[in-house]
Homo-oligomer: A and B are copies of this chain.
């Protein structure tokens, strides 16, 4: 096992009606002037925003608001948020929404206390200082509620890039599964796919064995495989929503990612799809993962066979492990289709003729050297083949 540091100091407040405690937790973590940051109209229409404001009012904590975060959040709104926070002397950002809103909030939090352009962080500079961030999560998917990560898309060039730093880990995250019950089925399924991708990305490795990490990932994938179809069949199933929401956090705060290298090629390859087509990240992953896994399979057959047996209940073919390995990828693909995810470029809204452009941005955009690396290293030619497998 490789040496590591594990640090997840976020206070998670989980369960029914917990959004009404937002003010209490802002106070506990030292906020005195809040920016409430959110996306579209649903948090307004559902009354969630009013409940959050009421809870801040009860603690006499003043606030300003900035809505308008879009899926695959953009740099433009981040600049706007930074200006607003500076003007209003905000010291705490409260994200009300999903991963996009939380990522946008983290970008603002880092940008407010930084002299240069906040985009520096998305070009490799570590985030060392930031305003405090708290979250009220409305979609189980990105895991941003418990992670030090943020992904933003820069409008010029449509570069989608990530940044990271313990300083933007949420001080608290409020997780009420009931808030996710009104999501459209497609978004719920995309969230499930994203969570499972966070687990697979940590599972796929050529490092030496780390039994505890494997077993924790398998446990969470089994949970998702069990609860996913239940919530698609019955969107009001609170227990299934709760299991998925908590699994989504544990999947991405790195509890199940320690002590070895990880993959993340599916995420890297997908990012170009959601940047270009503005599709749901999870939907893009549903199309990307089976292709990437099939391409990677020969580099560690036994690992894919292990996933097939332990997660998808495939019988081990001891004479032909690659048969089992492929059966596991197929079982995962069928699972994703069964919960309503797209299976190819056409269903996703992507176009075969864009592949050269996708590959070019993927391998050369924003300073990359013609390759991308994870569990294996891919050149342009490999990436072209993978995108073609998705058609």
A-side residues, CB < 8 A to B, are 1-9, 11-16, 18, 177, 208-212, 215-216, 218-220, 222-223, 226-227, 238-239, 242-243, 246-247, 250, 255, 258-259
Contact = CB atoms under 8 A, between A and B. Distances in A.
Nearest to A13: B5
Contacts of A11: 5-7, 9
Contacts of A227: 211-212
A326 B9 CA distance: 40
A41 to B, nearest CB: 28
Contact of A255 (B211, B238, B250): B250
A6 B1 contact: no
B246 A258 contact: yes
A315 to B, nearest CB: 15
Copies in the complex: 2
A245 to B, nearest CB: 9
Contacts of A255: 250, 255
A275 to B, nearest CB: 32
Of A15, A212, A238, the most chain B CB neighbours within 10 A belong to A212
Given A6-B12, A11-B5, A215 B219 contact: yes
Contacts of A15: 1-4
B12 A243 contact: no
Contacts of A219: 212, 215-216, 218-219
A269 B77 CA distance: 59
Nearest to A255: B255
A215 B223 contact: yes
Contacts of A208: 239
11 contacts: A1-B14, A1-B239, A3-B14, A7-B11, A210-B243, A211-B226, A212-B219, A212-B223, A212-B246, A216-B219, A255-B255
A342 to B, nearest CB: 27
A215 B220 contact: yes
Nearest to A8: B8
A6 B6 CA distance: 16
Given A212-B246, A259-B246, A6 B2 contact: no
